[in-house]
Amino acid sequence: MLRRPLLGAAMLGLSAPPVRSATAADQVDVALVLAVDASGSIAEAEFKLQREGCAEAVTHPAVLAAITGGPLGGVALAMVEWGAPGGAVTVVPWRTVRDAASAGKLAAAFREAPRSLQSYNAIGDAIDHAVAEIAGCPFEAMRGVIDLSGDAGDMRSRRPAAVARDAAVAQGLTINALAIENAYRPGLAAQYEAEVIGGPGCFVVTAAGREDFARAMRVKLVREIAGVRRHLPEQALLAFRRHSSEKLSSLRLRFPWHARHGSEKG
């Protein structure tokens, strides 16, 4: 559940349940859904690069430093695969990460989960599924974030991506995107900026093909976990500089949704 207040129940149009006293183990800084493109056009080798990229990212020292540097020192993550209209599915349910050991277990779950059967390409339905996942999160989170990655735009959603995005943002969530661009699909980041991202501090990161996915996901997770209202923990910055040649300036922060709708940029 989310803390602002009991937002998860409101997402489903339900009455808020009685407030329970959450233990420290139940409380996390952010509930984060990794919504990963598994559409039928993705070859098996490309798909494995995505899974491995997610596993590498959650165990990277910079990401772990961002997690442990948060006020509550933990995050909850789940992995959703999307593709077919109405076909998004949760392949790794909610788990908490508070240290290297729990991150390693989550990485193993990412690598081992069977690939779901998908056609293409329903981003709006993926957003709706991720919203429902956050509503049902068993941990009490300060923020809810949907992290959607893909190599194409919305094509066949039952509910268009922009409509699903607006509904999710109205419920207090942030949606960020990772655009896997190549010579055949230029301009995908701009499309995601217009139709997918929204909420406080929303942004798009671009990967130059799936070989670049792990780097882009790593940069993205540091930003998402650190949040929009505080600086990155010093230890996260140091780890990022020590263990990676990328600079934080490689993160492409965009705020077109806020400019259009007048939302706070954070």
Q: pLDDT tens digit string along 131-183?
A: 999 999 999 999 999 999 999 898 889 999 999 999 999 999 999 999 999 87
- Tens digits of per-residue pLDDT, 179-217? 999 877 789 999 999 999 999 999 999 999 889 999 999
Question: Cα–Cα distance between 225 and 74 in angstroms, integer?
Answer: 9
88 C-beta neighbours (distance < 10 Å), count:
26
Work out the angle between the directed axes of helices 100-112 and 61-68 (0-180°, nearest 10): 120
> Within a domain: residue 11?
no
> Within a domain: residue 240?
yes
Q: Which residue has better confidence, 61 or 119? A: 61
> Within a domain: residue 22?
no
- Residues of the chain with pLDDT > 70, as a percent, come to 76
> Within a domain: residue 14?
no
Average pLDDT over every residue of 223-250? 50
> Within a domain: residue 85?
yes
User: For residue 140, what pLDDT is reported?
Assistant: 96
Q: Report the number of distinct structural domains present in the chain.
A: 1
Q: Which residue has better confidence, 60 or 182? A: 60
Question: Cα–Cα distance between 99 and 27 in angstroms, integer?
Answer: 15
> Within a domain: residue 35?
no
User: For residue 83, what pLDDT is reported?
Assistant: 86
The answer, yes or no, to whether residue 73 has pLDDT greater than 90, is: yes
Domain that holds residue 57: 42-259
User: For residue 24, what pLDDT is reported?
Assistant: 67
Cα separations (Å) of 211 from 57, 59, 91, 158? 13, 18, 22, 31
226 C-beta neighbours (distance < 10 Å), count:
23
Count H helices and E strands in the chain, helices first: 10, 6
- Residue 196 tokens read as 């997918």
Average pLDDT over every residue of 84-91? 90
The answer, yes or no, to whether residue 232 has pLDDT greater than 60, is: no
The answer, yes or no, to whether residue 21 has pLDDT greater than 70, is: no
Average pLDDT over every residue of 246-261? 35
User: For residue 260, what pLDDT is reported?
Assistant: 35
Average pLDDT over every residue of 13-19? 34
CATH of residue 91's domain is 3.40.50.410
Strands 174-181 and 75-82 come out as: unpaired
Question: What's the per-residue H, E or C state across 227-247?
Answer: CCCCCCCHHHHHHHHHHCCCC
Residues in the chain: 266
User: For residue 7, what pLDDT is reported?
Assistant: 41
Note the pTM of the prediction, 2 decimals.
0.79
User: For residue 22, what pLDDT is reported?
Assistant: 55
- Are the CB atoms for 43 and 180 separated by under 8 Å? no
* Burial category of 236 from C-beta neighbours within 10 Å (exposed 0-12, middle 13-18, buried 19 and up): buried
> Within a domain: residue 108?
yes
The answer, yes or no, to whether residue 8 has pLDDT greater than 60, is: no
Average pLDDT over every residue of 93-104? 98
Q: Which residue has better confidence, 42 or 107? A: 107
Name all contacts of 263-266 with Cβ < 8 Å and 24+ positions apart.
263/169, 263/198, 263/199, 263/200, 264/200, 265/200, 265/201, 266/200, 266/201, 266/228, 266/229
> Within a domain: residue 19?
no
Amino acid at 31: A
Q: Which residue has better confidence, 41 or 183? A: 41
The answer, yes or no, to whether residue 9 has pLDDT greater than 90, is: no
User: For residue 1, what pLDDT is reported?
Assistant: 64
Which residues have CB under 8 Å from 11's CB, separation 6+?
131, 132, 134, 135, 171
Strands 75-82 and 89-97 come out as: antiparallel
